[in-house]
Amino acid sequence: MRTAQVVEQGEVPLWQAAMLKVYASELMERLSETAFDLLGPGATLAEGAQGALCDSVFEYGVRDALLYTIGGGTNEIQRTLIALRGLDLPR
């Protein structure tokens, strides 16, 4: 079931939300790494800074990518929640 469907049914999407969080945060991390690989250090410069590239659209993503994997519970903790509650695996 998708997270939105679970919410529409009046349930709390515990493990579904954890799956979404892990997927989205790791996607953001991969996209940020790719931007940095393609654009170099200029991808991390703030708007208006000398050498900033692409109007600094990648700055926040590159800078905050690691925070997304930690904020809201580390992805390792989220994976444990998914395993225990979503997949009914033993501890």
39 and 58 Cβ atoms separated by less than 8 Å: yes
Cα separation of 34 and 47, whole Å?
19
Pick the CATH number of 3-86 from 3.60.150.10, 1.10.10.10, 1.20.140.10, 3.30.310.80: 1.20.140.10
* H or E element at residue 89: none
Q: Which long-range contacts (CB under 8 A, 24 or more apart) does 44-51 make?
A: none
Any idea of the CA torsion for 45, 47, 48, 52, to the nearest 10 degrees? 40
31 and 66 Cβ atoms separated by less than 8 Å: no
pLDDT in tens, the chain (91 residues): 577 888 888 888 888 899 999 999 999 889 888 888 888 888 778 777 787 777 767 787 777 887 888 887 889 999 999 999 999 898 8
What predicted TM-score, i.e. pTM, was given to this entire model?
Answer: 0.75
